[in-house]
Structures are given as C-alpha cells and as structure tokens.
Chain A
Amino acid sequence: MKTASETLKDFQKFTPKKLPVEEPLAPGHRACQGCGEVVALRQVMKALGNNVIVVSATGCMEIISSPYPQSAWRVPWLHVAFENAAAVASGVEAAHKAMIRKGRLEDKNTTFLAIAGDGGTADIGIQALSGALERGHNFIYVCLDNEAYMNTGIQRSSSTPYGAGTTTSPPGKKSIGQQTWKKNMPAIAAAHDIPYVATGSPAYYIDLMNKVKKASLVEGPAYLHLYSPCPTGWRCAVEDSIQTARLVVQTKIFPLYEVIDGKYRLSRKIKKPKPVSDYLKIQRRFSHLTEEDIAMIQERVDRDYDRLLKLCGVSEE
C-alpha cells in the first residue's frame, strides 16, 4: 500500500482559474440564508465531482438537501441515522470492495464520502468514527463543524468553543456559557495513525478543495475537519458568514494544517495574527464575554497555536 506522501507526490492542485464546473450538490436546497456549512459542503462536492457515493449523518445538511420527494443530490446519497455515518460508509466501501473482487461490479475508482456535523462526529458519532478509522476503510470522513447542535436549535456540543452561549450553555450569573474548551477532533483522528488529516475553512476554498482532493487520492481513511459558519446559531450577520471563516484562521483560533502520514504541516502561517476579539465581537454568542474572558481565550489560542507550530516543526517568530 502506498503512503499518503507517495500518493501525493505529483499532486495536481486546483487553481482559481481551473475549478470544476460540476455541482454535485444542486442549488435550491433549503439551507438558511448565509449558511457557511452548505458553502463548505458545496466546495467538498465540487472537488470530488460525480464519481462519489455520499453517506450523510442526520443533521442540517441532511434535512436541507432531502425533503422527499425533492433531493439536492446529483450523486448517490444515503442517510441512515445520526451517529453512524462512518459505520454506514464502512459498509458501502466494504461492499464495493467485495463485489469488485468477486467480479460482480466494475471498478470505477469511486470515492466514498461520509459527512456529519460536529455533534455527529465529536459526540454521538465518535465511536463509529473511531472504529471506521481504526479498521482502515478507504473513505473520506468530513466533519462540518458549526460548533453546536444547530439542527435541533443551537445546543452545545463538545465542539462548542469556550464561552459561547448556546441554548444549553446559556451565559448567566453563575455561568460564562460553554464551560469547556473545544474538543480537538483532528488530533483524535490523527491519533488513529491514518494517512491523511486536514482542517479547512470555506473562506480559503482553494486550500479546502485541494485537501478534499488529496483525501480522495490517498489509500485508507482520510479525516477532514471543516469550519462551517452558522449565522443562525452564532447570531451574526448573514453577510459575515465567510468573514468569520476568514477571521477564525487569521486570529489563529482555527489554524489550517494537514497531517500526512502522521507528519503535521502548516497550510498557512499567520504572520500578523489578528486579536481573537476581532472574531468574537461580530458574533452575539460571545457578546457577554468580559475583557478578562477574552484575554483568557487569547492566552489559550496562543498556547494551542504554539503547540501546533511545534508539531509542524515551524519556529516561532
């Protein structure tokens, strides 16, 4: 079996002038105005093209794309339940492997994609995901992280950032809001020693699409953690959706990186980082935070970013 770095040696990048025209996820779906998650998903699907089978967890992307008898999917799509996208995709991948080997199906080099939100990934679906990564199925798992259970009405998940107000982590006299720090899912995925892990943001769509393409090329499991702005849940202006996706990278809160064969690589070094307050202040989920709270978040973000730089072998400046 080829390593990911061998496979990606002559990787042909997407460029702004050479983007695919295919839209496997059709317009006309029912996503909210300003939804950044569906933008990220559109980029994922454009990068993969039509030779793909999609397994979707229950969640926003599932309900907005498939109200029977309508479907926004121009590629085969299967939804079973909430917590099992990785397990369902395991079955799709294994079935194709077996049927191709037995001569019952032509090998068309189809990509198998599982998509789920942060709750479906970091909380209720983490066991199924861990199992599928450990077993080494040849598939891509995309976590579309909008940092809470948006489909059910903005409840906190383990991926909700510290201090954020949600309907189950409301700020109050006795609480700052979300009292825990965001779970580091990419690190958990990387700990499975899989060939490819990466983070992406729809504001940096060429980077995101290249990572999706790389994930489809490597042999074995690939995990992509995609930042997915949710103006509805974050209580920000719908026109600020992509702006949050840019600021979250520029403030070092959500750094863009890859883990190829276990080796961390920074995708974009933030030379002049913006203060976290630039990102926090445009979202009302953080509006209750005090200067001290923000200073604490800044400290934590700096610490985490430095750790990442060390993992990437990049020296601090």
Chain B
Amino acid sequence: MAKRVGIEVSLAISEAVKLANVDVIAAYPITPQTHIVEHLSELVADGHLDAEFIPVESEHSAMSTCCGSSASGARTYTATCSQGQALMLEICYIAPALRLPIVMTVANRSLSGPISIWNDHSDMMMSRDTGWIQTVAENGQEAFDLTLHAFRVAEDPRVLLPTIVNVDGFTLTHVIEPIEILDQKEVDRYLPPYQPQMRLDPTNPVSIGPVGMPEVYTEAKKAQDEAIKGAKQVILEAWQEFGDMFGRYYKPVETYRTDGAETLLVTMGSLSETAMIAVDQMRTDGKNVGLVRLRLFRPFPFEEFLAAVRGVKQIAVMDRALGLNGAGGPLATEVKAALYDEPERPYIWNYVAGLAGRDVTIENFVEMADGVEAAAADGVRQGYTIINVRE
C-alpha cells in the first residue's frame, strides 16, 4: 500500500528511482541536485537498491556513461542542472538520436554568469530542442509521480527517447512535503522491467552511432522528429493509466479557473502554485483571470495549449529565463508561435520573472494580469517586461 510521508522532495525522487529498480546511475554532484544522488548512493550502499552507482568525473562523462549503459540494455538514470547540463549538452543531443531511454532529473537552476546556484528555468530552455521528452513538476508529489512516468514513457517501444523531469531547484528539491510513496508492487504493476529492442550483444552484433552522410542525415533527423511528436500519445496513455491505478491524473496542459476567463496567466513549475493563490484572490476581487500551466514542455502540447487558451482576450506569459535575443523569454516566443495560425489571436505580454531564485509573489502575478490588460488596452505590441528589477 502507498504510504503518505513527510519527505524532502529530492529524497522522494530518489525513492522513485529506487522503486523503478534502475540498474545504473552515473552522476556528478552539482547544487541543487546533490541530495538526489547522495540519497541514491546511500540506497545502493545500504543494499536497498541493487544498482551500479558510478561517481563519474564530470557531467559530460555522466551522460556518456549513461549512453553506454542504456545501449547495453540497462535501466539508466542521472540527475543534473545548470552548468552540469551545459557541460553534458553535447551528449544530450546524441542520446535521443541513438534512441536511448535514459531518465534524468534536472533540478532547475540559473546559468552562469554571474554564477548563481539559485532556481530558474535557464537550463530547461538551454536544452529545450535537444530531442528529450520534458515534463515539469509543480510539487513534490508530481516530482515523484513524473519520475515513474518518465521511465514508463521513455522505455515504451513506440517511444525510446530519453526523458527529463524538471524540478525547481531548492524551492522544490529542498522542501519537505507530504508525499504518497507508492509501494513496490504498485510500481511494478505500472512500470514493467525494461525490455530493450536492441542492445550491445556479441551474439547479435549491431553498430550503434554510425556516420550519417548527407544522403542519410536528413532522414535520420526526420525519423527523430516523428519519434518525439509521436511520443505524445504514449505520454497521455501513461498518465491515464497512472491516474486509473493511483487516482492522480495528469494532463499536458493544466488549467485553473479558466472558465469564462478573459485574461490568462501562463506558467511552468513550482511558481504555478503561487499563481493559483493569485488567481483565487483576483477572482474574489471580480477579475476574470485564470491560469494555464504547462506540465508537458517537450513535445510542446500545441493542441491542448490552443484548446486551453482559445477565446481569451489576453495572455500574460511568465518566463523564468531571459532569451537574450531581444524577444524576451523563450516560453513566450513559443506561445506566440503556437498561436500564429489561430484565426482569433489573444493579446500577449511576456513577464520575465524569478531569475536565479528571485521571489515572485502573489502581488507580482496580480501585477502581470493587470499589466497585460492595460497593455492590451493601449495596443502596445511585441512587449516584455522584466519584473522585480532595480532600474
């Protein structure tokens, strides 16, 4: 039977990885991912998890080791963030191209410089087009559930793609929450052992990672594009089944009090819970404001997103990363692109907030909703604002 316990979110993620009975963990320490891998190494040291824990000498080697392990047919896990993810980025592009179902937690953190260990989504945005499936957790329970979901989706023979679960560093990884930890029987029912379609085996030799000459490179990329687009159906099925088994249903795009809303806030990650309180408050004040949160970031859930925002007058998109391209935040750019083909497009303003752990308060969300309404009334175009910044 599942047990509800007060546990640090990082530890709950490690427990999910243990329950997934992984074979190999290769990891390099980086704040704020450390508690996850520390706890996993304890679980291995104490014999609670039968796995090889490889304390590699860098994140680049962490992902490389994961590739070797996954290609051998082992269930493989790692965790990182920020600079670590930047260092392994080269291999993060290769893992999905080799169709290796590695699961990785990213304890989202800002990127240097200036160096900062605090939470934002710069790393998530940096890796957004690497070809990994990416989900985003809002709270500890979701971090636990999405980790199991990640293995289930990644290893599905129809998918075979590596999967990232994004978890906000510190504000989520380091808090203690009441989390329902499923028991081994329940997890085994949801997540069968990994059955690799192909693996390095001397009795059935295959060459993995060959040279792609111009005659085949485009075809290889098209196949990969189809794989990640096609993964969505499996992601949805795996969430449906999770809900049917354990009572917690997840959707690629979650909505909160969007009925009859004229203005929507769009968020990702743990700040969504603050945004919900802001929406409650604004609704009490008679404002028609709702909230849309992206749970699935890659592949981008175009269909569900458009359905969630259709008919509203204006949208305030909150980005926890700055694009440094003159267009504001990356999420807003994507939201705008998603809406381009709509016959009736809402007005959009982008708020860049919460960089490197800077607080985003309930008042800030009210400010965003009021701001987008005012900007829409003025008809200002292509705008973004960095909020909570000293001029």
Interface residues of A (CB under 8 A from B): 50-53, 55, 62-63, 66-69, 71, 73-81, 83-84, 86-99, 101-102, 104-105, 108, 110, 127-128, 130-132, 134-135
Return the contact of B68 from the options A50, A90, A108, A127 (Cβ within 8 A): A90
Check if B72 is an interface residue, CB within 8 A of chain A. Answer: yes
For the complex formed, measure the closest distance between the CB of B195 and the CB atoms of chain A, giving whole angstroms.
Answer: 10
Q: Are B90 and A91 in contact (CB under 8 A)?
A: no
For the complex formed, measure the closest distance between the CB of B48 and the CB atoms of chain A, giving whole angstroms.
Answer: 14
Q: Are A91 and B26 in contact (CB under 8 A)?
A: yes
Q: What B residues does A110 contact at CB under 8 A?
A: 202
Residue of A nearest to B55 (CB): A135
**With A78-B209, A92-B72, A95-B72 as contacts: A101 and B55 at CB distance below 8 Å:** no
**With A78-B208, A90-B68 as contacts: A99 and B202 at CB distance below 8 Å:** no
Residue of B nearest to A97 (CB): B52
Q: Are B213 and A68 in contact (CB under 8 A)?
A: yes
Check if B226 is an interface residue, CB within 8 A of chain A. Answer: no
**With A92-B69, A95-B73 as contacts: A78 and B213 at CB distance below 8 Å:** no
Please provide the chain B residues from 86 to 109 with a CB less than 8 Å away from any CB of chain A in the complex.
Answer: 90-91, 94, 98
Interface residues of B (CB under 8 A from A): 23-24, 26, 50-52, 54-58, 60-61, 64-74, 76, 90-91, 94, 98, 193, 200-213, 216
**With A68-B216, A91-B68 as contacts: A80 and B94 at CB distance below 8 Å:** yes
Given A66-B211, A87-B60, A127-B61: 10 more A-B contacts, CB < 8 Å: A66-B209, A78-B68, A78-B208, A80-B68, A81-B91, A90-B65, A91-B72, A94-B24, A98-B24, A127-B58
Q: What A residues does B216 contact at CB under 8 A?
A: 68-69
Return the contact of A131 from the options B61, B71, B206 (Cβ within 8 A): B61
Residue of A nearest to B207 (CB): A71
Return the contact of B202 from the options A76, A104, A128 (Cβ within 8 A): A76
For the complex formed, measure the closest distance between the CB of A278 and the CB atoms of chain B, giving whole angstroms.
Answer: 38
Q: Are B56 and A99 in contact (CB under 8 A)?
A: no
Residue of B nearest to A53 (CB): B200
Q: What A residues does B209 contact at CB under 8 A?
A: 66, 78-80
Q: Are A91 and B69 in contact (CB under 8 A)?
A: yes
Q: What B residues does A81 contact at CB under 8 A?
A: 64, 90-91, 94
Q: What B residues does A97 contact at CB under 8 A?
A: 52
Q: Are B69 and A87 in contact (CB under 8 A)?
A: no
Q: Are A102 and B57 in contact (CB under 8 A)?
A: no
For the complex formed, measure the closest distance between the CB of A141 and the CB atoms of chain B, giving whole angstroms.
Answer: 13
Q: What A residues does B72 contact at CB under 8 A?
A: 53, 91-92, 95-96, 99
Residue of A nearest to B200 (CB): A76
For the complex formed, measure the closest distance between the CB of B45 and the CB atoms of chain A, giving whole angstroms.
Answer: 15
Residue of B nearest to A68 (CB): B210
Residue of B nearest to A88 (CB): B68
Q: Are A90 and B56 in contact (CB under 8 A)?
A: yes
Return the contact of A91 from the options B66, B202, B210 (Cβ within 8 A): B66
What separation, in Å, do the CA atoms of A83 and B57 have in the docked complex? 13
For the complex formed, measure the closest distance between the CB of A27 and the CB atoms of chain B, giving whole angstroms.
Answer: 16
Q: What B residues does A77 contact at CB under 8 A?
A: 205-208
What separation, in Å, do the CA atoms of A128 and B54 have in the docked complex? 13
A-B contact pairs, 22 of them (CB 8 A): A63-B211, A68-B212, A69-B210, A75-B205, A76-B206, A79-B210, A80-B64, A81-B94, A84-B61, A87-B56, A88-B64, A90-B68, A91-B69, A91-B70, A94-B52, A94-B69, A99-B23, A101-B50, A127-B57, A128-B57, A128-B58, A135-B54
Residue of B nearest to A92 (CB): B68
Residue of B nearest to A83 (CB): B60
For the complex formed, measure the closest distance between the CB of B83 and the CB atoms of chain A, giving whole angstroms.
Answer: 16
Most A CB within 10 A of own CB, among B51, B69, B73, B216: B69
What separation, in Å, do the CA atoms of A131 and B60 have in the docked complex? 12
Return the contact of A99 from the options B64, B71, B73, B212 (Cβ within 8 A): B73
Most B CB within 10 A of own CB, among A75, A79, A84: A84
